[in-house]
Amino acid sequence: MSAAGPEVLVVAPIRPAQMEALGAAYTLHRLDLADAPEALLAEVGPRVAALVTTGSAGVPAGLLPSLPGLRLIATSSVGTDRIDLAACAERGIVVTNTPDVLTDDVADLALGLILATHRRMVAGDAWVRSGDWGREGPFPLTATLTGRRVGILGLGAIGMAVAERCQAFRMEIGYCSRAPKTVDFAYHAAPIALAGWADILVACLPGGAATRHVIDAGVLAALGPAGALINVARGSVVDETALIEALETGTIATAGLDVFASEPAPDPRLTALPNVTLYPHHASGTVATRDRMAELVVENLAAFFGTGAALTPVALPVSPA
């Protein structure tokens, strides 16, 4: 805890240099390090003006009532599905995120998962390390990417960046979003229609109640026995039970997943499958990107307390009159 500026509650820390910057400018209260969180909240909660968190930590259920003076939540993430935005809107709490900063890294990882699933890169690595190459001979043939149809579910900034990368591999692009966009890609009005068209379905849409299980058993069946699911969005957008069954039964061929319904301990039935490539919710996990995300958190706090206007506020739901 420092001794300057407005009081800020840290639910989850950002990068070390940016934590130092926050400590120099504000009075920090480290909920993430507290031995007795309830006692800390009872003592400082009424004085806290801002909250810093990350996408994976969000704002735990039941925390907001302990912070009656809270004016700002700054999350080091694009996703805000672990923050009760309706409650924030009701109380007039500004929420900021870190858009655009992580677009390229997430898109790179999506392409990496496409390559890994189709060229079986993890299995190939094991084939060499185990000595099977020498004992068993050549590795089994894998699937080409050239000419494949890639269906992007959610054509926002990340979805567009994925599309651009796939085009460089001479893949055909289709998409599904809330409305058609001015792009030269095939538009599909529903996820199941996109899945029926695609060889590879890439989830790039936000999490939350509106997109929960949008990729269900029907969508997976439409994707088909040669199809691949790539998820760099949120675990909640996929019905994971249906996905496990689809992978077990050959309803789809493979999946590449950066996100899971249960993190950091995914369903063991999923982690036991040989036809899925797993990554630990780390698509934005490069030094440069995480540093820039943390910098934007610091900049949002400085702008909010300096001018009253945050730099990257999230649109909050409007309560019906």
Q: Which residues are catalytic?
A: 234, 263, 281
Contacts of 166 (CB under 8 A, 6+ apart): 111, 114, 150, 173
Angle at 187 between CA 182 and CA 191, to 5 degrees: 135
Query: How many angstroms separate the CA atoms of 28 and 196, rounded?
Result: 51
Contacts with 140 (C-beta within 8 Å, 6 or more apart), sequence order:
120
How far apart CA 85 and CA 275 sit, in angstroms, is 37
Q: How far is CA 182 from CA 100, 187, 274, in A?
A: 20, 10, 39
Tokens describing residue 144: 């080409």
CA dihedral 199, 204, 206, 207 (to 10 degrees): 50
